[in-house]
Structure 1
Amino acid sequence: MLIGNSIGLRAIEQNDLAQLLLWRNQPEFRRFFREYRELSSDNQAIWYDKVVLNDRNTMMFAIIDKESKRLLGACGLCYINWVDRSADFSIYIGADSIYIDGLFAIDAAKTMVKFAYEELSLHRLWSEIYDFDEAKKAMFATLGFTLDGRHRQTHWSEGSWHDSLFYSLLSSDSIPKN
């Protein structure tokens, strides 16, 4: 388990899947994710088997409250490129409909960044978000991520087109301490 100040990051277990599915299917969360439709239990089981358990280019973690051990959300490194030492960074807090906050999400993100750079020797973390995702914009600013660019009108949501924003953090960047 990876330990932060208030959270722990542990392997996603099969008994986490039902709760994670509920969070992933909440419309107020799903609008920020790449999923464009409601996911079924079968979709979730396939994701768990193919991605979480068997894809060496993905490392997903359950975020838990360090004290109570309550499941809070999920985070991970996806599309890991071991040659270029880069990965897509993803995170959300599903508990209490938080999504992104200044306590659990920031602590989990810092813990994941430290793991990516110190344990996996990655060089670059990146993330694609949509231009209306104010919570992740603020989180990335707090963490020292740089806005690298924008792809115009990539995402249809709530009756209009939205841009994709691409953020990155290099291992050489100044990373806020826990």
Structure 2
Amino acid sequence: MLTGTYTGLRAIERNDLSQLLEWRNQPEFRLYFREFRELNAENQNFWFEKYVMQDSNTRMFAIVDLETNELIGACGLCYIDWINRNADFSIYIGKEKLYIDEKYAIDAGKIMEQYGFGELNLHKLWAEIYSIDKQKKCFFEKLSFMQEGYFKDTHWTQGEWVDSIYFAKINNWEG
């Protein structure tokens, strides 16, 4: 397990899937996800088998509260490009519908950063978020990610077009 101050990152287990699916299907969370439709258990199992268990370009983790060992969310690095050494950073806290908070998300985010840059030797971590996702915008700013791009009208939600904002951070510790 990778540990921070408040959170630990461990492998996602099959028995985590029902809780992750419940959180993943919350309408207030789906609003911010690329995959906006409600998922079923078959979709969740497919994702687990294909991406978590078999895809060498994906590293997903369960986020647990270090005090209680309770599952509280998920995070990972997706679309890892091993040649150009970059990956898409994904995270949410499902516990108490926090989504992104000041305690757990920031702590887990720092662990993911250390893992991506240190363990995987990546050069760049990036994320695409939607302009309506104010919590995630603050999250990436607190982790010192820089806004690198802005694409107009990329996502249709709640009867309107929203924009995509791209954040990234370069590994400043490379030799």
TM-score of the pair, normalised by structure 2: 0.98
Give 4+ residue runs of structure 1 displaced > 4 Å after superposition. none
**Structure 1 unaligned blocks of 5 or more:** 174-178
Q: Could you tell me which residue of structure 1 aligns to residue 41 of structure 2?
A: 41
What's the C-alpha RMSD, in Å, of the aligned pairs?
0.7
* Alpha-carbon separation, structure 2, partners of 1:172 and 1:153: 32
Q: Could you tell me which residue of structure 2 aligns to residue 176 of structure 1?
A: none
Tell me the alpha carbon deviations over residues 34-61 of structure 1, each in whole angstroms, 9 at most, x when there is no partner.
1121101000000000000000000000
Q: Could you tell me which residue of structure 1 aligns to residue 67 of structure 2?
A: 67
Tell me the alpha carbon deviations over residues 77-101 of structure 1, each in whole angstroms, 9 at most, x when there is no partner.
0000000000000000000000000
Partner amino acid, structure 1, of 2:88? D
Tell me the secondary structure at the aligned position of residue 90 of structure 2.
strand
Tell me the secondary structure at the aligned position of residue 51 of structure 2.
helix
Which aligned pairs between 1:123-162 and structure 2 lie closer than 5 A? 123-162=123-162
Q: Could you tell me which residue of structure 1 aligns to residue 86 of structure 2?
A: 86
Q: Could you tell me which residue of structure 2 aligns to residue 15 of structure 1?
A: 15
Tell me the secondary structure at the aligned position of residue 28 of structure 2.
helix
Q: Could you tell me which residue of structure 1 aligns to residue 99 of structure 2?
A: 99
* Alpha-carbon separation, structure 1, partners of 2:10 and 2:153: 36
Q: Could you tell me which residue of structure 2 aligns to residue 116 of structure 1?
A: 116
**Structure 2 unaligned blocks of 5 or more:** none
Tell me the secondary structure at the aligned position of residue 105 of structure 1.
helix
**CA shift for structure 1 position 137:** 0.7
* Alpha-carbon separation, structure 2, partners of 1:124 and 1:44: 28
TM-score of the pair, normalised by structure 1: 0.96
* Alpha-carbon separation, structure 1, partners of 2:6 and 2:26: 25
Partner amino acid, structure 1, of 2:163? D
* Alpha-carbon separation, structure 2, partners of 1:139 and 1:40: 29
Aligned residues: 173
**CA shift for structure 1 position 138:** 0.5
